[in-house]
Structure 1
Amino acid sequence: MTDTTPDPGGFRLDRRTALATTAVAATALVVVGCGSTSDKPASAAPRAEPGGPDQMPAKKLDTLANTADVPVGGGLITGGTVITQPSAGSFQGFSATCTHLGCQVNSVSGGLIRCPCHGSTFNLDGSVAGGPAPRALDPRAIRVEGDQIVSA
């Protein structure tokens, strides 16, 4: 069946041409968007004086937990981070994603970080205590600021 609808503007565009034109336009937008508006290398940019008006504001700390909330010889899970305190005052951070199949670990008890999906367990230092996880939990940078544990 053919289209016999009259073309009021006299301009017809077949599907292949329309798709090709759209692809070219999208590519051009990406190229233009990635271009630089400065011919100076980044190293040539002027530096702000410390404490001057151009200084960047201090980064807001991403508080994960209070130090008192993390038991010695245990830990807690907050968001996507596992925080442990293997010994008093020593805090470590790890991704809450199990290295077996990507499930989220869901508890820290009995000195172990536990994954509910296939039974993997991890020591408080993130190392594998029991499989099937093939490797340790990925480390997460944390630091203690006063009585708060923050993302580093």
Structure 2
Amino acid sequence: MRNVSEVIEQYLKQALHQSPNGMVEIQRNELADKFQCVPSQINYVISTRFTLEKGYIVESKRGGGGYIRIQKVQLHSHGSILDYIFQTIGEQIDQASSEGIVYQLEEARLISSREANLIRAAISRDVLVLKLPVRDEIRAAILKAMLVALLTK
């Protein structure tokens, strides 16, 4: 059986998929009531599974009429995809952020699961046995080179 975090994640992804504008606004307490969990569980799911690296923009407004807005980043052309990749990666990138980018590209079916697995293997800290910040700089260079090669087919 799936845990509550996975159920909440799938619910939010389904709501985003069904949304005509790729955006959903939720109230944390209402969602917590729906899934019979504490509001901090909603915060956890959103902060770990709906990150910019995974292709989401999250805004929140606190207070009585507060909400959390989640929007899926739309990548329409190879040019905008490459621009997004270079902006996100920069000169260095940590493993979690790089895996988030790979996840996003795989989820959007811009790279295959085999390609994603090869990239993950190449940029793993188990392979890049270097001290920081050199490791993150090498990871960024490898990731950019691999993605440019794959996305400019």
Q: TM-score range by the shorter chain?
A: under 0.3
What is the TM-score with the length of structure 2 in the denominator?
A: 0.24
> Structure with the greater relative contact order (CA < 8 A, sep ≥ 6): 1 or 2?
2
Q: Considering only CA atoms, is the larger Rg found in Structure 1 or Structure 2? A: 1
Q: Please state which structure has a larger fraction of its residues in helix.
A: 2
Q: Higher strand proportion, which one?
A: 1
